[in-house]
Amino acid sequence: MIINLLSQDLKTVTKNQKDGIYVTFSFSGEDKEKTTNIVNKELHGRLEKSLSSKLITGKTYETAIYREFNFSLFSHVVVIGLGKKSEFSHEVFRQALSCVYDASKSLKAEDVFVDLNDLHLKKHAPEFVKAAVEGLELTSYDFTELKSKKAKPGSIKSAKKVTSEEDQELQIHLLLNEAKSNEVKLAFEEGLILAQAVNFSKYLGDMPGNLMTPTILAEKTLEAIKGTKIKATVWDKARIAKEKMGGLLGVSMGSTQEPRFIILEYTGAAKSQKPIVYVGKGLTFDSGGISIKPSAGMEEMKYDMCGGANVIGTIIAIAKMKLKVNAIALIPSTENMPGPSATKPGDVHTSRNGKTFEINNTDAEGRLILSDALVYASEQKPELIIDAATLTGAMVVALGNIHTGYFTRNKNLKAQIEKAAEASGEWVWNMPLCDYHVQDMKGTFADLSNMSSGKGAGSATAAAFLEQFVDEGIPWAHFDIAGTGWAAGNRLKYCTKKGATGAMVRTFVELAKSYQ
Ligand code: BES
Ligand code: ZN
Ligand code: ZN
């Protein structure tokens, strides 16, 4: 798929209109009495029957397709519902454009003209253009690499490579008179970079454990950052041991796969400016280790590296957008397996800062590998630390797959996160973290236990454990993406049903923007 931005409208468009598709939108009435409004006035007139018979109601994501309708120079017409005008947002639009993509596919279209002019976006044009591009590009993601009819391997360079082959014929033209404004052009480019970065994160997540080991994760990352200003360093097992990363090393002991510690550095501002450090859990397969998980659903634990994948996507997007910030992404990566040398319940390991922990359940491994990464992050004297991890099943219970729960004790950072999520269109929810949670993580034989001594609040106690490895005074937030990291397609039109979502990439990039 190729997306174009044209400073044209219905009357002036001349490009490839033969067999082209015209897409416009409809709003539903604010209450039962008020009627549906199709934003293109001419079409509103021609579709009176559909309106009176309620074939078109304007409700969100309703897709009405009129084949051989011969409207203006176009053969087919598509009307997408946007819901109530008072509730219209860029996130509604992002999802509506997902419907445009689906309709284009069902019509086997080559040229689709999406008319944004009648929406009268005015000063909001940049954010809606960005949302439109994201909605289309995110929806075009299709993980086909492992089907025998092969697509090319996933790559950040071209979204085409992670979309299906037939998709390459499709051209979607966004019609907007203000398309030549610099702000609109920038928003278009940013939307594309961001969505392609999210699609790359999804690709890493969707790859199964045997084909996305820590070594492969590092290799794929090195490949993806080619052409950007990101500097990469990858530590192998020997180096990880030398660096005293006892958490990461301890978790890796049950696996034949070597662990990796991936360091990605982007310098977009003066060297003196403190970096934003992103940390992501890169557990390429979590069997639970000796405290093995039940077999039902265990295959989903290939997604336990989505935190890592998503901070990789984040820093790639930041670099491609050339944001004027310094950013670092750290990904501790390993498998959690029950091999003969595996960590046993009761074992004690030492993290990079010298704190010891007893492993009372080997399935609570994410916090152990993150402990070393957070200590390393603190050593970078950062502006702030943000981590993302599929950390606890308790988070899935608490918030499901709609909101990503985040923990921070820093009020300023909380406000910045809320603002960033508002701008990105992702849903976040602030979760509690207090000293009682910390108390629950005290160890009997070591400084800390990796299991809470209390009942419940498993996500908060996990966060309290992580907090022990962040230097005091550094603003820090932990995002538990266990519920939102994959299988959100029943909520979000631009996500696949079962696959990885790239959750928080958009919000994390938005957060970086506020530090420019
Ligand atoms: N990777 C899992 C958390 C997880 C579970 C994410 C389900 C997504 C869906 C993590 O390593 C884990 O197993 N956590 C345990 C911790 C417990 C043993 C304290 C959990 O949540 O059950
Ligand atoms: Zn686990
Ligand atoms: Zn895990």
Nearest CA residue ID for atom 7, ligand 1:
393
440, 454 contact by CB (below 8 A): yes
CA distance 156 to 141: 12
Give pLDDT < 50 ranges for the chain.
157-163
Ligand 1 pocket check for 112: Cβ under 6 Å: no
Q: Tens of pLDDT along 197-226? A: 999 999 999 999 999 999 999 999 999 999
Which ligand places an atom closest to the C-alpha of 284? 3
pLDDT of residue 14: 73
- C-alpha 21 to ligand 1 mean position (Å): 47
- C-alpha 399 to ligand 3 mean position (Å): 18
Atom of ligand 1 nearest to the CA of 281: 1
- C-alpha 392 to ligand 2 mean position (Å): 8
Ligand 1 pocket check for 389: Cβ under 6 Å: no
Q: Which residues of 462-490 are buried (b: 16+ CB within 10 A; e: fewer)?
A: bbbbbbbbbeeebbbbbbbbbbbbbbbee
Q: Which residues of 67-93 are buried (b: 16+ CB within 10 A; e: fewer)?
A: eebebbebbbbbbbbbbbeeebbbbbb
- C-alpha 294 to ligand 1 mean position (Å): 12
Nearest CA residue ID for atom 16, ligand 1:
364
Atom of ligand 1 nearest to the CA of 366: 11
Examine domains 2-182 and 206-513 and report if their fold is the same. no
Query: What pTM does this model have?
Result: 0.96
Total residues belonging to the chain: 516
Given the structure tokens 């509690």, which residue do they identify?
432
Pocket-testing residue among 391, 449, 484, 498, ligand 1, by greatest number of atoms within 8 A of Cβ: 391
Q: Tens of pLDDT along 86-127? A: 999 999 999 999 999 999 999 999 999 999 999 999 999 999
Ligand 1 pocket check for 286: Cβ under 6 Å: yes
DSSP 139-197: HHB---TTSSSPPPPP-SS-GGGGB-GGGGG-EEEEE-GGGGSHHHHHHHHHHHHHHHH
pLDDT of residue 158: 42
Ligand 1 pocket check for 57: Cβ under 6 Å: no
CA distance 56 to 494: 22
The set of catalytic residues is 293, 367
Q: In three state form, how does the secondary structure of 229-271 look?
A: CCEEEEECHHHHHHCCCHHHHHHHCCCCCCCEEEEEEEECCCC
pLDDT of residue 73: 87
Ligand 1 pocket check for 485: Cβ under 6 Å: no
Domain at 206-513: CATH architecture: 3-Layer(aba) Sandwich (3.40)
Nearest CA-CA partner of 241 in 336, 378, 372, 340 = 372
Pocket-testing residue among 333, 363, 441, 455, ligand 1, by greatest number of atoms within 8 A of Cβ: 363
Hey, is 318 helix, strand or coil?
helix
Pocket-testing residue among 281, 302, 392, 396, ligand 1, by greatest number of atoms within 8 A of Cβ: 392
- C-alpha 18 to ligand 3 mean position (Å): 53
Atom of ligand 1 nearest to the CA of 458: 19
The CATH code belonging to domain 2-182 is 3.40.220.10
Rg (Cα) of the chain, in Å, rounded?
24
- C-alpha 336 to ligand 1 mean position (Å): 12
| Token couple for 286 | 């979590």
> For the chain, which residues make up each domain, given as ranges?
2-182, 206-513
- C-alpha 457 to ligand 3 mean position (Å): 17
Ligand 1 pocket check for 370: Cβ under 6 Å: no
Ligand 1 pocket check for 364: Cβ under 6 Å: yes
Ligand 1 pocket check for 396: Cβ under 6 Å: yes
| Token couple for 341 | 């040398």
Ligand 1 pocket check for 363: Cβ under 6 Å: yes
pLDDT of residue 161: 43
pLDDT of residue 325: 98
- C-alpha 64 to ligand 1 mean position (Å): 43
431, 405 contact by CB (below 8 A): yes
Which ligand places an atom closest to the C-alpha of 360? 1
Q: Tens of pLDDT along 38-65? A: 999 999 999 999 999 999 999 999 999 9
CA distance 252 to 338: 10
Nearest CA residue ID for atom 8, ligand 1:
482
| Token couple for 307 | 């935190």
Residue 300 gets which letter from DSSP?
A: G
Ligand 1 pocket check for 440: Cβ under 6 Å: no
pLDDT of residue 17: 62
Ligand 1 pocket check for 156: Cβ under 6 Å: no
Hey, is 117 helix, strand or coil?
helix
Nearest CA residue ID for atom 3, ligand 1:
392
* Helix/strand/coil percentages in the chain, nearest 5: 40, 20, 40
Hey, is 30 helix, strand or coil?
coil
